[in-house]
Amino acid sequence: SGNFDEPDTETSLLRQLLPGIRVSGSQGQPQTGWMTSTYGVFLGLDVGKGEHHAVGLDPAGKRLHDGPLPNSEPKLRAVFDKLAQHGPLLVVVDQPATIGALPVAVARACGHQVAYLPGLAMRRIADLYPGNAKTDARDAFVIADAARTLPHTLRQVGVGDDALAELGVLAGFDDDLAAEATRISNRIRGLLTGIHPALERALGPRVAHTAALELLVRCGGPIGLGNTSRRKLISIATKHAPRMGERLIDELLAALSEQTVVVPGAAAADMVLPRLAESLRTVLEQRKALASEIEGILDAHPLAEVLATMVWQVRSPPAEVRSVARNAAAYSRWAPVSAMSLRPRPPRKLRRPGRGRVDRGG
């Protein structure tokens, strides 16, 4: 055939998303199918933030190019076009995402095949070459020579990675929002603990609930809540928590009645707490909207139905939707591993006795 053999779409994407799952007929091994005779140039890129180092080899191992390569589209296109004059070009990177995303995108746009050499494989291969200096030029040569002589070590960078890259960006942003929500929640609870511990015990565990946030936004801290009528408090709470709203207000008023003194700083806290609550509400709304966007990308993925039947369920609460996105994005860059490595194992003392060993009594 002389062409790069691609597995069927479903098998390929499944292997990228969930490498611990054995695909029928594959024994869990990566599909390669590389035919080195079809390529006239093997270009190894040791990617960097500002510039990469590029080494191009022909099938006989002769260097056709060796030097720094700025991380800009015009420079990348110029080198790719120059090397493509010697024959079909295979571009191999050591990192297909983040700092390696632009070379991969440019190579695809130019119509060249793209692959990457996983880090563990690269380190093992590098040990076979003379010298132990860790330089960009040496790494780029190792990548190019591995593509030329050890094609089975390479992994295809498929177009399915585009959706996974989007999931990675969204999941990363969600991590930032989660950290911000935790910071604001802790700040609110810290303020309440300092000026009114009883109120913190009543409201703190529910501080992320929409009813609690609305109370803080509209009424403020202990002073503002104490000056608001019970009827109005119940009206605010039940609008966002119909079943527990009245109970929440009863607990809140009981907590307020436990403390009659005004701690210094309470007046300032009454001004700060509504702003913190508004900020927390905004962050939580962003996370909710982000979960819908992540779910939309997953629904459009060819393997959405497969993912929906896994332990992580696509159509589930936002936290589990985010879990699917993070796992899909994280696993997409790794070679397949055994299913056992992804299977949770109970602590040794909780395992059933006698499992996995022979009783040799007497």
Q: Average pLDDT for consecutive 10-residue bins of the chain (362 residues)?
A: 40 42 36 60 93 94 94 95 95 89 93 90 85 84 92 78 76 92 97 96 95 96 95 95 94 95 94 97 95 82 61 45 56 41 47 48 44
Tokens of 42: 């093997």
Judge whether 71 and 48 are in contact, CB under 8 Å.
Answer: yes
- Beta carbons within 10 angstroms of residue 227's beta carbon: 10
Q: What is the mean pLDDT of the chain?
A: 79
Task: Give the residues across from 46 on adjacent strands.
Answer: 53
pLDDT of residue 350: 47
| Strand ranges (E), 215-325 | none
Q: Greatest CA separation found in the chain? A: 87
pLDDT for the residue 39 = 92
Tokens of 280: 């927390």
pLDDT tens-digit profile of 298-337? 777 666 666 555 534 434 445 555 555 555 555 444 333 3
Rounded CA gap, 216 and 240, in Å?
13
Q: Give the integer Cα–Cα distance in Å for 361 and 349.
A: 21
| Tokens 């994407």, located at residue | 13
**Which pLDDT value is given to residue 322?**
57
Closest CA to 252 of 306, 207, 305: 207
Domains of the chain and CATH, by start: 18-159 (3.30.420), 198-284 (no CATH)
First to last CA, the chain: 64
